[in-house]
Amino acid sequence: MIYLKKNKKIVLSFDLDFTLIDNREGIINSFNYALKKFNLPEINSLEIEKMIGTPLDEMFAEVCNLNPLLLSSVFREYYGKKGLYQSHLLPGVLIKIKELWKDSFTLGIITSKKQEMALKVTKYLKIYKYFSYIIGETEEFKSKLDPRFKELLFNKYSGYKFVVIGDHPNDGMLAKNLNCPFVGVLTGFHKADQLKQVNNSKTLMINNLSDLTTSVIYSLF
């Protein structure tokens, strides 16, 4: 414990959607824009919200039989021009991110968003500078559950301890893959029991990011 407090060798890896930002308006509008483009019926906003956090191709595969790659391409066309700018930070996030950054924790983001979009939205919302890495979907990494993340991160931050923070069960799975603690944030569309389903060595639930204090982080080790 003393070693950790003295050296702050801890990486806090955040999810993006509904952990740091609320972009439901942009996602819903982009999703239905893509459906409409192919003359498909629009989906109720609540149904779309339940799927947020899973890869976009999988979201479209859930609702229609059309090639999801086509729909995802049109989604990103709209999102890059309009949907991106319909996002805002969740309450208390900016204050908390600044606090953790000033306290010498290493901050990162791993998201199901396309890498390009993740970079754009963090720059637009003026939080980009606080993160040592922002990893989104690329041609190489199709999912945050890619097992190669463990080697990638552990090589880059050798000797560090990791904590994954997110609102989606996939974030719990990421923590399991990294063999590290998971902090579930109840600001998304999943309840605590859903986030606890993944059997991690250490799981903690918080209501929002404001509850992520230094003492909470240290209690995980």
Residues 80 and 151 both lie in one domain: no
**Residue 106 near residue 87 (C-beta atoms within 8 A):** no
Mean pLDDT per 10-residue segment, the chain (221 residues): 58 96 93 95 90 85 92 92 93 96 94 90 96 90 84 92 94 93 93 84 92 94 90
In whole angstroms, what is the distance from residue 199 CA to residue 173 CA? 9
Look at residues 68, 86, 104 and tell me which one is the last residue of a structural domain: 86
In whole angstroms, what is the distance from residue 126 CA to residue 59 CA? 28
- Look at residue 55 in the predicted model and tell me its pLDDT: 80
Residues 10 and 115 both lie in one domain: yes
- Look at residue 10 in the predicted model and tell me its pLDDT: 95
- Express each pLDDT in 70-118 by its tens digit: 999 999 999 889 998 999 999 999 999 999 999 989 999 999 888 998 9
- Look at residue 172 in the predicted model and tell me its pLDDT: 93
The number of folded domains in the chain is: 2
Question: Of 144, 142, 115, which Cα lies nearest the Cα of 131?
Answer: 115
CATH of the domain at 205: 3.40.50.1000
Q: Which domain holds residue 214?
A: 2-22+88-218
- Look at residue 2 in the predicted model and tell me its pLDDT: 37
> DSSP string of 118-133?
HHHHHHHTT-GGG-SE
- Look at residue 1 in the predicted model and tell me its pLDDT: 38
- Look at residue 199 in the predicted model and tell me its pLDDT: 67
- Look at residue 146 in the predicted model and tell me its pLDDT: 87
